Structure 1
């Protein structure tokens, strides 16, 4: 399987270079388990989903801790038929038979109990796309039910769902949405925007 994310970080500050480079240092503990490529538009991180989401969470948290308004934008994908399998993406959780949807929801909710507390608020909106599946709406509705019980649900919006809370819980919820819904070997993507310290929250 191939899994990874294209991510871009946008600090609303004249010190954006320092903020971005400092945040990228949060990827260092994960580099052994990821393929990372950075250009002038985005950073590609390829690897198992649990490492990809932890790396994104920590990058976002470092950028957000300084109090500057920062936005992380990401396109996250697994199982894309146009990408070759990559051994670095090995994720045993995607092996074996497909569990019933209700059982996957329970497992996803249980996994949130281990979410770390990062001390950085995250306001996020995401859209889940279950591709190449005749029962894609069942999977999406199941994901929505899961999110509403996650503790990170804020509200539904047009074309997306809004999350809010500590970055640890928000990114753990996103990871479970990405991994638990849709076929194990199917193509699943998430379109994600996460914001920290927006002045419009208190305006």
Structure 2
């Protein structure tokens, strides 16, 4: 399997370069478990979801600690048929495809109990795309039902779902959406925007 994210940070600050570069240091503890490549547009992070999502969470928290309004934009993908399998992405956290949807929802909710408290609010909106054979809408609706019970659900919007809460809980919710819904060997993507310190909330 191949799994990863293309992530970009957009700080609304005069010193945005410093915010971005300092925030990227939050990925240092994960570099032996992930492949990380940064260019002038985004940072590619390749690796298993159970490492990928905590790394994204820590990157977001490091950036938001600046106090500046910022946005983290990420496209996440697993199982893309156009990408070669990569041993660094080996994982056992994807849902068993033979498990009923209700059991996968229950597993996801139980896992959220372990989410750490990061002390930083995350306001997010995301869309889940399940591609390939099978009833993709059943998987998406099952994910939405899970989100509504997650404790991070804020509201439904056109084309996406809003989440809010502590960054630990929000990124844990996103990880479960990514791993528990859609076939384990299928192509699943998430389009994600996370905002911090927005002046419109003051």
Q: TM-score, normalised by structure 2?
A: 0.98
In the alignment, does 2:41 pair up with 1:29? Answer: no
The residue that corresponds to 2:101 in the other structure is 101
Stretches (4+) displaced over 6 A? none
Measured in 2, the distance between the counterparts of 1:100 and 1:191 equals 25
Number of aligned residue pairs: 202
Measured in 2, the distance between the counterparts of 1:51 and 1:24 equals 15
The residue that corresponds to 1:156 in the other structure is 156
Measured in 2, the distance between the counterparts of 1:96 and 1:64 equals 35
The residue that corresponds to 1:82 in the other structure is 82
List aligned pairs for 1:57-68, cutoff 5 A.
57-68=57-68
Measured in 1, the distance between the counterparts of 2:123 and 2:95 equals 32
- The Cα offsets for residues 127-157 of structure 1, whole Å up to 9 and x where unpaired, read as 0000013300000000000000000000000
Tell me whether 93-102 or 111-120 shows the greater mean CA deviation.
Answer: 93-102
The residue that corresponds to 1:38 in the other structure is 38
- The Cα offsets for residues 163-199 of structure 1, whole Å up to 9 and x where unpaired, read as 0011110000000000000000000000000000000
Contact 2:163 2:170 in 1 (8 A): yes
Measured in 2, the distance between the counterparts of 1:66 and 1:81 equals 38
Contact 2:95 2:181 in 1 (8 A): no
**SS of residue paired to 1:33:** coil
**CA drift at 1:66:** 2.0
List alignment gaps of at least 5 residues for structure 1.
none
Measured in 1, the distance between the counterparts of 2:94 and 2:53 equals 16
Contact 1:98 1:184 in 2 (8 A): no
List alignment gaps of at least 5 residues for structure 2.
none
The residue that corresponds to 2:2 in the other structure is 2
**CA drift at 1:94:** 3.6
Measured in 2, the distance between the counterparts of 1:146 and 1:42 equals 30
Q: TM-score, normalised by structure 1?
A: 0.97
